[in-house]
Amino acid sequence: MNGLSLCEQIRDAQDRNLLLCNHSRREVGLRALVTGVAGFIGSHLAERLVQLGHVVDGIDCLTSYYPVETKRRNLSEIAKSDRLHFIEKDILEADLGNLVSRADVIFHLAAQPGVRASWSTFDQYLRNNLLVTQVLLEKCSEVGKKRLIFASSSSVYGNAERYPTREDAVPLPISPYGVTKEGAERICGLYQSNRVVQTVILRYFTVYGPRQRPDMGFHRFIESMLNNSPITVYGEGKQIRDFTYVSDIVEGTIRAAESEVAGETINLGGGSPAELNGVLEILRGITGSESKIVHAKADRGDVRKTAADITKARNMLDYRPAVKLLVGIATQVQWQRDKLF
């Protein structure tokens, strides 16, 4: 990292008059590799990196977990920039040596998401969450790259004993998905402890906002309300989640890359724990919907409550989530309304 943070290197480049016209292929700032770049969070991260003057190599195999057209649409604006180089490829089939060797920092967001599906298609979770992570880290060690930011999940905590939950809580995942994310964390720890790759593990807490995956709660609820169709709620709606707006997650993720932190696991939460039933009432107020709520059996692996202790993120990364829940929900509603109408 040449002893400079990402922001410092950008400023240095600017001072040397290296900012270029839109059609130039010359690199400015750093080159980042973003895996899972066409996803909900990955596309926002890539956009922000480009805005900061970086070049992004983004890789995504566009799996059919949700519509491929949605993922392509996630990249529709940033694809216009010559600072994004999109590789549509499975990581296990890509020329990783070339991608990793030219990257200054790697953001590993690619994963098989979803708690519910992990019970029936566990083989995909083993491949895409564990094997892919190990192969990427091994390639990093081979070419001498030492900085990888890994996107993990609050699912590793399961039903934690304490709330807010600190990073030193013993992981007790209660879903196959959570097990694979914990396993991937441990693989990162192995490469860190052997001093071949610098890793930072970020545990994301219930991310929401524009481009949220169609299978996620907010997206489903808003879509139903805008169509005045029944809303399916799994369980009694008393689950509590620490909702985190996507721009706050992106900010924390970039701060982790900018920092000198290595070998640490850090929570990124929004500071807005709320009960699901309360969120539904907020959504009713924003949308004016009279959709009927239909309760279904609670999902296996659905935790009762999440709440992030973000003291470590605040101290190490100066991470301070800025988007309040009401504002964030209203923004997502408007995004889905625009997309629908």
Does some domain include residue 225? no
User: Bridge partners of 121?
Assistant: none
Confidence of residue 88 (pLDDT cuts 50, 70, 90): very high
Confidence of residue 26 (pLDDT cuts 50, 70, 90): very low
- Contact yes or no for 53/29 (Cβ under 8 A): yes
Q: What is the 3-state secondary structure (H, E, C) of 82-109?
A: CCEEEEECCHHHCCHHHHHHCCCEEEEC
Q: What is the pTM of this model?
A: 0.90
The average confidence (pLDDT) of the chain is 91
Residue 299 lies in a domain: no
Residues 6+ apart with CB under 8 A from 294: 230, 231, 232, 233
How confident is the model over 2-30, as a mean pLDDT? 40
List Cβ neighbours of 133 (8 Å cut-off, separation of 6 or more): 108, 150, 184, 187, 188
Burial of 120 (0-12, 13-18, 19+ CB in 10 A): exposed
For residue 99, pLDDT over 50 is answered with: yes
pLDDT band at 23 (very low <50, low <70, confident <90, very high): very low
Task: Check pLDDT > 50 for residue 27.
Answer: no
Q: How far apart are CA 94 and CA 89, in angstroms?
A: 6
Domain-located, residue 202? yes
Given a cut of 60, whether residue 14 has pLDDT beyond it is no
Query: Residue with structure tokens 């905590």?
Result: 157
- Is 331 within the bounds of a domain? no
What pLDDT sits at residue 271?
87
Helices (H), 173-263: 176-193, 217-226, 246-258
Q: Tell me the pLDDT tens digit for each residue of 240-290.
A: 999 999 999 999 999 999 999 999 999 999 987 999 999 999 999 999 999
Give the CATH number of the domain where residue 124 resides. 3.40.50.720
In angstroms, the Cα distances linking 75 to 40, 155, 328, 339 are 10, 27, 21, 15
- How confident is the model at residue 215, as a pLDDT? 95
41: containing domain: 6-206+245-271+307-322
pLDDT in tens, 108-160: 999 999 999 999 999 999 999 999 999 999 999 999 888 999 999 999 999 99
Answer whether residue 67 shows pLDDT above 90: yes
Instruction: Indicate whether 116 belongs to any domain.
Output: yes
Residue 239 lies in a domain: no
Domain count, the chain: 1
Q: Are 318 and 134 in contact (CB under 8 A)?
A: no
pLDDT given at position 272:
79
From residue 107, alpha-carbon distances to 2, 16, 57, 186, 202 in Å are 18, 27, 10, 17, 11
Strand 273-275 and strand 240-242: the pairing is antiparallel
Least confident interval from 8-12, 95-99, 263-267, 312-316: 8-12
The Cα 218–Cα 156 span in angstroms is: 21
**Residue 236: inside a domain:** no
The DSSP letter of residue 318 is: -
Per residue in 153-180, pLDDT tens? 999 999 999 999 999 999 999 999 999 9
* Catalytic residue positions, numbered: 177
Q: What is the pLDDT of residue 8?
A: 45
Q: Where are the alpha helices (DSSP H) in 227-310?
A: 246-258, 276-287
Checking if the pLDDT of 12 tops 70, the result is no
Residues in contact with 2: Cβ distance below 8 Å, sequence separation at least 6, in sequence order: 9
Mean pLDDT value across residues 307-330? 98
pLDDT at 15 over 60: no
Whether residue 166 lies inside any domain: the answer is: yes
Pick the more confident residue, 288 or 1: 288
